Amino acid sequence: MQIIQDISSTKSLCRSLKQEGTLGFVPTMGYLHEGHLSLVKQSVKENPNTIVSIFVNPSQFGQDEDLDTYPRDLERDVALLKECGVEYVFNPNAQTIYPSGFDTWVVPEKLASVLCGKSRPGHFRGVATVVLKLLNITNPDHMYMGIKDYQQLRILKQMASDLHLDCDIVACPIVREADGLAMSSRNSYLNPDERKRALSLYHGLLKARELYEQGERDCGQIIETIKSIIQESGGRIDYIECVDPLTLQSISEAKDDTRMMLAVYFGKTRLIDNMALKA
């Protein structure tokens, strides 16, 4: 296992790996769970070489967000990646990625003006910037991302198209705990009571699917149903919306590909989840 901190070594490593066939890339902020590992496993299966980045990206955290407390465990992450057959980890520090004089930001516009982009100003600017940097450093053929962060995925696919990147972005299914809670590094913040109550996200989404299956097409009604289930559990709703899967704009009449998107606080922990209306 090679853990590399600096950019030029990573660049030349990746250049030589690409001589052997396609290169897969999985960007992460570490503290890996089965969600991440599903991306890693898919990349290992589909490419002769895979590189994983572990970098808690400061520029995607807001001023009052959890940058300092974001969970970290490099040793455990490396062991998990080894088990998956990963041989290369890019683990730069913040100074390497944002040296003094850094001045160039990648800014998604409309797609970042809704949903999480509204609640977390600057978040997707940070995400898009660091991912473009990581892509330009590793230059992979395929990048693997989870549908859990649906808005992020949509923004990065648009970025790849807008900026003519050669990398194909592979969307991978949400991985859930046995009881249905979507996996997230932030789940570790939840106390046992919050953990139980957080299940209302999944239950709300499933109930909405059921309604749609029964013929409900009014997004207002669908949202109200999810809302009442989550509120009953004590969740503080940031947003619940039914959106077009490409533009992320709110829509009123539900269709098969309509995406239900939500962000909800339990205590201080903000969780997100999403699901297509049609199973």
The yes or no reply on residue 274 touching its own copies (CB under 8 A) is no
Structure tokens at 83: 């088990």
Structure tokens at 71: 């969970």
Is there a catalytic annotation at residue 123? no
At closest approach, how far in Å is the CB of 263 from its own copies? 21
Query: Are β-strands 2-4 and 88-90 bridged in parallel, bridged antiparallel, or unpaired?
Result: parallel
The yes or no reply on residue 110 touching its own copies (CB under 8 A) is yes
* Cα separation, 90 vs 137, whole angstroms: 10
The yes or no reply on residue 4 touching its own copies (CB under 8 A) is no
Of 118, 163, 173, 221, the one binding its own copies (CB under 8 A) is: 163
Candidate segments 19-27, 65-73, 157-165, 193-201, binder of its own copies by CB under 8 A: 157-165
The yes or no reply on residue 159 touching its own copies (CB under 8 A) is yes
Of 4, 40, 52, 137, the one binding its own copies (CB under 8 A) is: 137
The yes or no reply on residue 79 touching its own copies (CB under 8 A) is no
* Cα separation, 30 vs 74, whole angstroms: 7
Sheet holding 259-266, edge to edge: 236-243, 259-266, 269-276
Q: How many residues form the binding site for its own copies (CB under 8 A)?
A: 27
Residues with Cβ within 8 Å of residue 167, at least 6 apart in sequence: 25, 135, 139, 140, 141, 142, 143, 160
The yes or no reply on residue 102 touching its own copies (CB under 8 A) is yes
Q: Contact at 8 Å (CB) between 157 and 174?
A: no
* Cα separation, 111 vs 117, whole angstroms: 8
The yes or no reply on residue 108 touching its own copies (CB under 8 A) is yes
Q: With respect to its own copies, which residue has the nearer C-beta, 11 or 203? A: 11
* Cα separation, 63 vs 164, whole angstroms: 32
At closest approach, how far in Å is the CB of 6 from its own copies? 12
The residues assigned a catalytic role are 36
Enumerate binding residues for its own copies (CB under 8 A): 7, 11, 101-111, 128, 132-133, 136-137, 155, 158-159, 162-165, 246-247
